[in-house]
Structure 1
Amino acid sequence: METSQKLAGKVALITGGNSGIGLATAQRFVAEGAFVFITGRRQAELDAAVQTLGAQAFAI
């Protein structure tokens, strides 16, 4: 998938970003260049999501 980096330098907060639609949204935002902060109820899943998303993602 080719990305435009139209979110480069932007910051996003995604609730429920550790799974499902929230995780898919976070993946797309990171692919478009955004820094992403995700929240979720299960710490283990949050940690796994951050590992999947890479250096531009943070769990809060």
Structure 2
Amino acid sequence: MSKDDGRSAVITGGSSGFGLTTARLLADAGARVLITGRDQTRLDAAREQLGDNAIAVRSDAASTPSPTW
């Protein structure tokens, strides 16, 4: 049993760089990881690298509208 078994994480920008590295470390330690990114091709490649503990969702956090309070 790994230290992160049963835990979940959401990584924005998880298809490359620090995001992908962080997602890989967490997935390797047993966590279930959801990664997001803007480029579907890169997300698909990252999802393949991460294995069965990962889900990839295409999204662009930079284009999220501001809330109206």
Correspondence for 1:7 among 4, 9, 14: 4
The offset of 1:32, in angstroms, is: 0.8
The offset of 1:20, in angstroms, is: 0.1
Distance 1:23 1:9 in 2: 20
* TM norm structure 1: 0.91
The offset of 1:5, in angstroms, is: 1.3
CA RMSD for the aligned pairs? Answer: 1.0
* Percent identity of equivalent pairs: 51
Distance 2:53 2:29 in 1: 11
Which SS does the other structure have where 2:48 is aligned? helix
Number of equivalent positions:
57
- Structure 2 unaligned segments of length 5 or more: list them: 58-69
Q: Which runs of 4+ in 1 moved over 6 A?
A: none
Correspondence for 2:33 among 24, 33, 36: 36
Distance 1:30 1:41 in 2: 21
* TM norm structure 2: 0.79
Larger Rg: 2
- Structure 1 unaligned segments of length 5 or more: list them: none
Aligned to 2:22: 25
